[in-house]
Structure 1
Amino acid sequence: MRTTVVRRIGDSPRQRGSMSGQSCPDIFELSDGSFAVVGREATAELDAELPPDASRADHERIVVITRETLIAAKKDIPDA
């Protein structure tokens, strides 16, 4: 079964003040219950900064979203 985007989590970039479309971090809930994040790719910058008990597979990337994006999504993130 193909995974699809079910809904946006939090406010849209436009609601958060991005009128230019140049900076649009976003969070989406997927049909399989996972979440997808659109953000700035920062693997090279932050990989060595991960704590000792954290790891990243070769196919995974570290993505940064703004604090504002995550706080705006908080109301839509399920507790369970």
Structure 2
Amino acid sequence: MRITRRLGDPPRLRGCGTGETCPDVFELSNGDFAVIGTEATEELDGLLPADAARADYERIVIISRETLIRAKKDIPDA
């Protein structure tokens, strides 16, 4: 598996030049997506809706609204 492309604008275009708090979204060679975000599993796990589930190896991460909106243009419909 490898990263095939970034979705949305690079962090520098979103005002991140320090290497800190630079959320990002990537498409992987297998068609899945990977995100860089702020780890928030402990904070949000108990707040998940009843029909949501998280495996022990999964984490909840937060990415900024701006990051996802800028990535939207690159996310395929299917």
TM-score, normalising length from structure 1? Answer: 0.95
Equivalent residue, structure 2, for 1:76? 74
Q: In structure 1, what is the Cα distance between the partners aligned to 2:58 and 2:44?
A: 13
Amino acid at match of 2:64: T
Give the structure 1 partner of residue 48 of structure 2. Answer: 50
- Post-superposition offset of 1:23: 1.4
RMSD between superposed Cα atoms in Å:
0.5
Q: Which residue of 1 aligns with 2:57?
A: 59
Q: Letter of the aligned partner of 1:61 in structure 2?
A: R
Equivalence for 1:38: 36
TM-score, with structure 2 as normaliser = 0.97
- Which residue in 1 is equivalent to 2:17? 19
Once residues 70 and 11 of structure 2 are traced to their aligned partners in structure 1, the CA distance between those partners, rounded to angstroms, is 10
Gaps of 5+ in 2: none
Instruction: State the alpha-carbon separation in 2 of the partners of residues 33 and 12 from structure 1.
Output: 20
Distance in 2 (CA, whole Å) between partners of 1:31 and 1:52 is 32
Aligned length: 78
For 2:20 and 2:40, how far apart are their aligned partners in 1? Answer: 17
